Copies of this chain bind each other. A is one copy, B any other.
Amino acid sequence: MNLTSDWIDRLKFDANGLIPAIAQDYRDGAVLMMAWMNREAIARTIETREVHYWSRSRQELWHKGATSGHIQKLQEMYFDCDADVLLLKIEQVGDIACHTGVRSCFFNQVQLG
């Protein structure tokens, strides 16, 4: 596990050592969720090609889908111009990313009136 790759060293982690990661369906571009990664989560994700996050509520490494089976297979990975956000293009196994049992976590639409 290489935690000191050049590109990882370019990333700007926050005061807690975390960086936001957007998970996007690689097929149709749907934004499925956003969660947080630390260095270890990034390294494990690249090593296994299955997305790992850092759970802020549980304060532990979180292999997404390890319990539910709804793992996320990494297809492509990007970081932004400021190197403080990650974009993960993934295959969402089961087509369910949200812990509520739906495809995307962004199911609450604001009525703009």
Contacts and interface: CB of A to CB of B under 8 A. Distances in A.
Contacts of A110: 7, 46, 76-79
Contacts of A31: 22, 24, 29, 31, 87
Contacts of A7: 108, 110
Q: What's the interface size class on A, roughly? A: 20 to 34
A99 to B, nearest CB: 7
A73 to B, nearest CB: 12
Interface string A46-71: 10010000000000000000000000
A98 B29 CA distance: 19
Contacts of A76: 109-110, 112
A101 to B, nearest CB: 10
A70 B52 CA distance: 35
